Amino acid sequence: MSMLASQSTPSRSVQAVAVSALLALASCALPNEIPEQRGAQVAVLAGAGLEEMSPGDVAVAPVVIHMEDESQRHRDAVPQWGLRKAMQRALVRRRYSPLSLDFVDSTVVNASYAAGDVGEQAVCEIIVHDWSERYWATERRLDVDVEVRMVDPAAVAGSTPLWAARMDDVVRLGSITNYRSEEALRAAILNEIALELMARMPARNLTPGQN
């Protein structure tokens, strides 16, 4: 055996031990469970045409509350403005351009909004079917059933949306721990709801000539 070979053997053994040690440390650092993919609890509903249309300007319409069996107190607990702001931020993450809420609401007359009022290319509708904060104070948990629909403003009312999804799930504090106030925490929770819903929506196609 050559002197080079005899010297390299211990070196390789040391390297192998070092690599094994690093792998062992890495495995210890890994979480016990693989985190769920964002949007895993979201059901995509009937819808077609969003990717082909690839709208730019999107109006986030006032929230529609379908909680007829609940008291007015429960209906009033729905953070409508916060949900719309959170949906705006989620739309930006999907490369859409949400219009200013103040601009959209400036066209609202008698609390009614009609698609196409502000020249938008698509309307984002938020429908709340259930919203419970029963366990918020004790468990930092919301029980929500929220639907989001992307609608063509030129389409006939009641027609199939461009895209739609619905989340009926429990939203917990989870990894959101770095917050300055109750208001900041609630904003973070609303962001989670919007991001979960929008995670299943196709991102806007920014290819030149395609939008």
Encode pLDDT of 127-146 as tens digits: 999 999 888 888 888 899 99
Strands, E, within 120-162: which ranges? Answer: 122-132, 141-151
- Tokens (6 digits) for 145: 């059933």
- Which one-letter amino acid corresponds to residue 172? R
Do residues 64 and 125 lie in contact, with contact meaning Cβ atoms separated by under 8 Å?
yes
Beta-carbon contacts of 98 under 8 Å, excluding residues fewer than 6 positions away, are: 57, 58, 59, 60, 87, 88, 91, 92, 124
Which tens digits make up the pLDDT trace of 50-67? 999 999 999 999 999 998
Which tens digits make up the pLDDT trace of 12-46? 443 444 434 433 433 343 333 334 677 778 999 98
pLDDT of residue 12: 41
Closest-CA residue to 67 (of 5, 3, 127): 127
What is 42-198's CATH number?
3.40.50.10610
* CA geometry: angle 104, 106, 110, nearest 5 deg: 105
* Secondary-structure breakdown of the chain: helix, strand, coil percentages, each rounded to the nearest 5: 35, 20, 45
pTM score of the predicted model = 0.76
- Taking residues 174-196, what's their average pLDDT? 82
